Amino acid sequence: MTFWGMEVFPWENVTLYSDRSKGRLHISRATLAIGHCAQRCVVLCSVGGKPPIILCSLRPETNESCPLDLEFKEDDDVLFSVHGPQSVHLTGFYREKCRSKDVSSSIILKRVIKLQNTEGEETEED
């Protein structure tokens, strides 16, 4: 595993481009950056040019951090954005490529695919 992290600034889109050499990206947590604000910040994600989905909603002093369990394929370009006045730190890790099929990764990936499927298209199966 290799640690991964990025800061997404308010009202900006940040694209994480695919990189097969690093393996699958697993995002574990979203946390509000240090600052003073009373308004909530919404973290959004779009994969493969599809409409964005809300990953979490963070509010200072009540819900400043949110655990996530998301995994993205090596060939996915992922766009993150924050709607709100404060930046958000996303953290996780790159899962090393494995030669045998990892069942837990397959289940997580299916959850992500189902979330992305906003137009009623059939989900991918093994």
pLDDT > 90 fraction of the chain, expressed in percent and rounded: 51
Q: What's the pLDDT at 75?
A: 81
Q: Give per-residue pLDDT as tens, 19-67.
A: 778 888 899 999 999 988 889 999 999 998 899 999 999 999 889 999 9
Q: Which residues contact 20 (CB under 8 A, 6 or more apart)?
A: 74, 75
pTM here? 0.71
Average model confidence (pLDDT) across the chain: 83
Extract the tokens encoding 95.
Answer: 């899962």
Count of C-beta atoms within a 10 Å radius of residue 18: 14
Is 117:110 a contact under the CB 8 Å cutoff? no
Closest by CA position to 9, among listed 82, 64, 65, 60: 82
Domain boundaries, the chain: 2-117
CATH of 2-117, picked from 3.30.40.230, 2.60.40.650, 2.60.120.340, 3.40.366.10, is 2.60.120.340
Which band of pLDDT confidence, cut at 50, 70 and 90, is reported for residue 90?
very high
The pLDDT of residue 71 is 92
CB atoms within 10 A of CB 75: 10
